């Protein structure tokens, strides 16, 4: 595909021999600088379809010899891939909806660019921002980010995106969902107008396509499979089961299917934790991963899943677009997704890289409309399976001991928390942004001092209870300036 030698050597070392259909169609247009709207099933190589041509063009730009005439001719695109001087501003921005997907994309850029001096930084929440800021200060070429943490760094003026000439939105249908469109527009509006923009996704409903078109200029549309189609190598089954018996059916499937590595999807975070506790009570190793889990926990859970130490991973839809684990044998929809498009992404975690897989869904009476929506979208009828004559009993999960009340004394001036300042903290970019911006909102010093003084005075008066002191502190704080802007 006429890629630069450093890239060719890197992909050959990874064992790549032939491009996938999405890569074969998208890469030539991307090398020419065209905007792209790429639609392909998950697991078909979308990341390489945009990463390889971007790295090729970065090599072409960074390998030019010094030229006293800045408007002179460009260098040879196949020269060695040296990067500009330290402290450079990023030239590539890739936005992803989840931390896991952002980390996966960042790793792909590192692998494909291993024979160059191009630098990549991954920016997401749930971890401290200091290492990310330090990497930006040292200079990077590629930024892969979730919207929440990226907006937070932008508002702190810790990142400059004015030099970005390549922008990518991966999993575009999720990124352009109504919950993401406002932060995405804010980010895209600061980029230069002459950039190359590429959007890739497994699904692209008509209403979302209209939003995507607003970011693209005369795009080339590449679709290698029907929208919302599922991989032929996935055997899709459905069980009709009452809600209260789902956990028993799950235990039966896990014990009888010869499961090696299974991904279980639930509708809610609480539901994921509950399933894991019940499986633990039944003697099965399992981990949960969702937006409320700390990033270090999510990393450990994925590592245990990859290694086989925890063969069952229970997740919410945040994991459907970012988990790239080989040899997942089964995907189980404990709860059917509210959005039928999410079904495609969920079961796409299995049958990757030419393998086969099994997708099993549990459908209660209340979920039958969701099943009809899935079958309408995918144009497929799931194979109905009879319930076993008997289902195993699942022990109740042990209750955690109650923590003693008033373990720590109240803070001076404590009380109801002030609302976070607009545009900071939680609220940018869905799950990824929620965790990413936690802890960055700062309270005005003068208000905090006044509140503390008032609370201390109140607590010194015997007639005033601690609760009254906290209420008085909050009233004093609210009356002296309100929210910080």
Q: Which residue shows structure tokens 């001096």? A: 117
Q: Is 40 helix (H, G, I), strand (E, B) or coil?
A: coil
Q: Which residue shows structure tokens 């699942």? A: 394
Q: Is the pLDDT of residue 369 over 50?
A: yes
Could you read off the pLDDT of 275-306 as tens digits, one per residue? 999 999 999 999 999 878 887 888 888 889 98
Cα(142)–Cα(110) distance, rounded to whole angstroms?
10
Q: Is the pLDDT of residue 482 over 50?
A: no
Cα distances (Å, whole numbers) of residue 135 to 54, 111, 140, 143: 20, 18, 7, 10
| Mean pLDDT, residues 461-475 taken together | 42
Could you read off the pLDDT of 333-353 as tens digits, one per residue? 999 999 888 898 888 888 776
Q: Domain residues of the chain, as ranges?
A: 5-64+77-223, 234-385, 411-426+434-485
Percent of the chain with pLDDT over 70: 72
125 CB burial (10 A radius; 0-12, 13-18, 19+): buried
Domain 5-64+77-223 matches domain 234-385 at the CATH topology level: yes
118 CB burial (10 A radius; 0-12, 13-18, 19+): buried
Cα three-residue angle 179-158-214, rounded to 5 degrees? 35
Q: Which two tokens stand for residue 20?
A: 């996938």
Top CATH class of 5-64+77-223 equals alpha beta
Could you read off the pLDDT of 66-84 as tens digits, one per residue? 333 433 333 333 334 444 3
Q: How would CATH label the architecture of 234-385? A: 3-Layer(aba) Sandwich (3.40)
């Amino acid at each position: 595909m006429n890629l630069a030698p450093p890239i060719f050597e890197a992909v050959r070392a990874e064992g790549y021999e032939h491009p996938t259909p999405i890569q074969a169609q998208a890469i030539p247009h991307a090398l020419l600088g065209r905007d792209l709207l790429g639609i392909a099933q998950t697991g078909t190589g979308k990341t390489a379809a945009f990463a390889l041509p971007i790295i090729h063009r970065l090599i072409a730009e960074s390998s030019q010899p010094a030229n006293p005439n800045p408007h002179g001719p460009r260098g040879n695109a196949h020269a060695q891939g040296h990067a500009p001087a330290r402290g450079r501003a990023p030239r590539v921005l890739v936005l992803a909806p989840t931390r896991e997907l952002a980390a996966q994309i960042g790793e792909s850029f590192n692998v494909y660019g291993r024979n160059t001096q191009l630098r990549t930084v991954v920016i997401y929440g749930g971890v401290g921002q200091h290492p990310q800021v330090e990497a930006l200060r040292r200079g990077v070429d590629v930024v892969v980010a979730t919207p929440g943490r990226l907006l937070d760094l932008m508002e702190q003026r810790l990142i400059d995106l004015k030099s970005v000439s390549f922008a990518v939105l991966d999993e575009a249908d999720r990124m352009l969902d109504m919950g993401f469109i406002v932060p995405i527009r804010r980010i895209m509006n600061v980029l230069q107008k002459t950039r190359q923009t590429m959007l890739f996704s497994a699904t692209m409903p008509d209403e979302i396509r209209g939003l995507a078109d607003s970011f693209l200029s005369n795009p080339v549309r590449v679709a290698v499979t029907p929208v919302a189609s599922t991989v032929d190598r996935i055997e899709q089954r459905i069980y009709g089961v009452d809600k209260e018996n789902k956990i028993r059916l799950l235990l039966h499937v896990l014990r009888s299917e010869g499961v090696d590595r299974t991904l279980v999807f639930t509708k809610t975070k609480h539901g994921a934790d509950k399933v894991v506790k019940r499986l633990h009570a039944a003697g099965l190793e399992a981990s949960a991963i969702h937006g409320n889990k700390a990033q270090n926990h999510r990393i450990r859970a994925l590592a245990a899943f990859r290694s086989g130490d925890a063969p069952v991973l229970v997740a919410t839809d945040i994991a459907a677009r970012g988990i790239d684990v080989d040899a997942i044998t089964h995907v189980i929809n404990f709860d059917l997704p509210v959005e039928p498009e999410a079904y495609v992404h969920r079961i796409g975690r299995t049958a990757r890289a030419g393998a086969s897989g099994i997708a099993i869904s549990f459908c209660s009476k209340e979920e039958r409309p969701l099943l009809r929506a899935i079958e309408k979208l995918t144009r497929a009828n799931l194979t109905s399976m009879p319930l076993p004559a008997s289902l195993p009993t699942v022990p109740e999960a042990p209750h955690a001991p109650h923590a003693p009340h008033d373990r720590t004394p109240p803070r001076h001036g404590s009380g109801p928390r002030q609302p976070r300042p607009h545009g900071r903290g939680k609220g940018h970019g869905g799950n990824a942004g929620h965790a990413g911006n936690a802890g960055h909102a700062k309270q005005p010093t003068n208000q905090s001092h006044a509140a503390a003084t008032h609370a201390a005075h109140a607590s010194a008066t015997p007639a005033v209870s601690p609760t009254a002191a906290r209420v008085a502190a909050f009233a004093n704080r609210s009356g002296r300036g309100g929210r910080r802007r």
